[in-house]
């Protein structure tokens, strides 16, 4: 009769495995130099002090996920980089406001706990936090049988940044400022539903295609180090993280009223993955609305600061001019064509 008793484990939830996973995360964060002074992992809430170096600290927050790039990770059975993507999608939004990432939390929901998979995801998250110079202070892992089919999962990230009031990038953009493109390292984490639709339609075997295997799982570039330096030195007037919606829609979000942008698409140095997608039948207009097309980040700078800005970027991510700010009531004008 005992075997017929109703238990949580029989419903599909394994608490001992969840506890084991929490201990694993705690051990990793303790080894990190950015783990902080408090034991936060496994507690009810995370505690962190605010550095006294800030005179007028302002908090900037961001939350995001990686969309259906998780399905690429599932298809390739590779989970050690998707956590970097998660951190990148959150912290790259923080630096747009001039903030330095400070804290990170994650949410992972799964059909059933697979410790090997989850450990690889968290290793990626911690690596992303180290690149972004912030600390993983907590999160939640939810085992949800019946909500997800076997092997499926989702992840979300939550980032907190700090910025000195006078360093907030807000309404500093001026007429005749230059628009610089900072190269992306690939697709980042946007447009994967379209990519997967194309792969299915063209009947491409992802596991045997070396080019796509490498390109589609490549983790999103984290721009925190470079952006933190040039903002600290007050070398930029604004910037935009080029994510879903593409170049025009994201630049529009940071341009003040009564100003607009003119962008020459012919100046864009695109990457092989975008050329391949275009050659597979995706129109230029759709490419520009869906993908970063090789521009991962845009900087808006006074022309006199151009040379000072570019020296803080490595050779693969050197900013280059693609346009300028003009008097044109918040509109973005695209001219020219990308060289596919």
Q: Judge contact between 105 and 146, C-beta under 8 A.
A: no
Long-range interactions of 241-244: CB distance < 8 A, separation 24+:
241/92, 241/93, 241/95, 241/96, 241/296, 241/297, 242/184, 242/292, 242/295, 242/296, 242/297, 242/298, 243/89, 243/92, 243/188, 243/189, 243/190, 243/292, 244/190, 244/191, 244/290
Which of 128, 78, 127, 136 is CA-nearest to residue 104? 136
Task: Domain 178-186+221-335: give its CATH architecture.
Answer: Alpha-Beta Complex (3.90)
CA distance 234 to 262: 23
CA distance 63 to 94: 10
Residues 6 or more apart from 29 whose CB is under 8 A from it? 35, 40, 41, 126, 135, 136, 137
For 214, other C-beta atoms within 10 Å of its C-beta total 11
Q: Judge contact between 156 and 139, C-beta under 8 A.
A: no
Which of 277, 97, 264 is CA-nearest to residue 191? 277
Please give the distance of CA 114 from its chain centroid, rounded to a whole number: 25
DSSP 31: H
CATH number for the domain running over 9-45+52-165: 3.30.1330.10
CA distance 225 to 262: 28
Provide the pLDDT for residue 52. Answer: 85
For residue 304, give Cα distances in angstroms to 227, 239, 283: 18, 17, 37
Domain ranges of the chain: 9-45+52-165, 178-186+221-335
For residue 238, give Cα distances in angstroms to 68, 91, 105, 152, 243: 30, 16, 27, 39, 16
Query: CA angle, 191 as apex, 190 and 194 as ends, to 5°?
Result: 160
Provide the pLDDT for residue 155. Answer: 96
DSSP 260: E
DSSP H/E element including 210: helix 210-217
Q: Judge contact between 75 and 94, C-beta under 8 A.
A: no
pLDDT 10s per residue in the chain (340 long)? 455 676 546 555 565 666 666 666 666 666 554 445 556 665 667 777 888 888 999 999 999 999 999 999 999 999 999 999 999 999 999 999 999 999 999 999 988 888 889 999 999 999 999 999 999 998 888 888 888 888 899 999 999 999 999 999 988 999 999 999 999 999 999 999 999 999 999 999 999 999 999 999 999 999 999 999 999 999 999 999 999 999 999 999 999 988 999 999 999 999 999 999 999 999 999 999 999 999 999 999 999 999 999 999 999 999 999 999 999 876 899 999 999 9
CA distance 284 to 276: 12
Phi and psi at residue 67, to the nearest 5°: 60, -145
């Amino acid at each position: 009769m005992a075997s017929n008793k109703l238990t949580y484990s029989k419903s599909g939830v394994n608490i001992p495995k969840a506890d084991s996973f929490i201990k694993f995360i705690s051990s990793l964060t303790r080894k990190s130099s950015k783990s902080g002074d408090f034991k936060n992992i496994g507690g009810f809430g995370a505690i962190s002090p605010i550095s006294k170096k800030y005179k007028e600290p302002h908090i900037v927050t961001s939350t995001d996920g990686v969309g259906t790039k998780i399905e690429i990770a599932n298809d390739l059975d590779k989970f050690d980089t998707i956590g970097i993507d998660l951190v990148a999608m959150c912290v790259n939004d923080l630096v747009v406001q001039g903030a330095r990432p400070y804290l990170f939390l994650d949410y992972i929901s799964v059909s059933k706990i697979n410790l090997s998979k989850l450990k690889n995801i968290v290793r990626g998250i911690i690596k992303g936090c180290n690149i972004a110079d912030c600390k993983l202070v907590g999160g939640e892992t939810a085992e949800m049988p019946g909500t997800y089919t076997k092997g499926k999962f989702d992840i979300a990230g939550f980032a907190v940044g700090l910025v000195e009031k006078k360093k907030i990038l807000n309404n500093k953009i001026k007429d005749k400022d230059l628009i610089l493109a900072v190269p992306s390292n690939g697709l980042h984490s946007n447009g994967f539903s379209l990519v997967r639709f194309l792969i299915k339609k063209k009947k491409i075997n992802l596991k045997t295609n070396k080019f796509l295997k490498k390109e589609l799982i490549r983790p999103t570039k984290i721009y925190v180090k470079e952006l933190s330096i040039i903002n600290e030195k007050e070398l930029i007037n604004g910037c935009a993280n080029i994510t879903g919606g593409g170049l025009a829609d994201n630049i529009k979000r940071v341009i003040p009223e009564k100003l607009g942008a003119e962008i020459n698409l012919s100046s864009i140095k695109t990457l092989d993955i975008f050329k391949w997608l275009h050659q597979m039948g995706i129109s230029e207009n759709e490419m520009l609305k869906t993908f970063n097309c090789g521009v991962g980040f845009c900087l808006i700078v006074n022309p006199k600061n151009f040379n000072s800005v570019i020296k803080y970027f490595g050779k693969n991510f050197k900013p280059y001019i693609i346009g300028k700010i003009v008097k044109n009531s918040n509109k973005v004008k695209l001219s020219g064509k990308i060289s596919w």
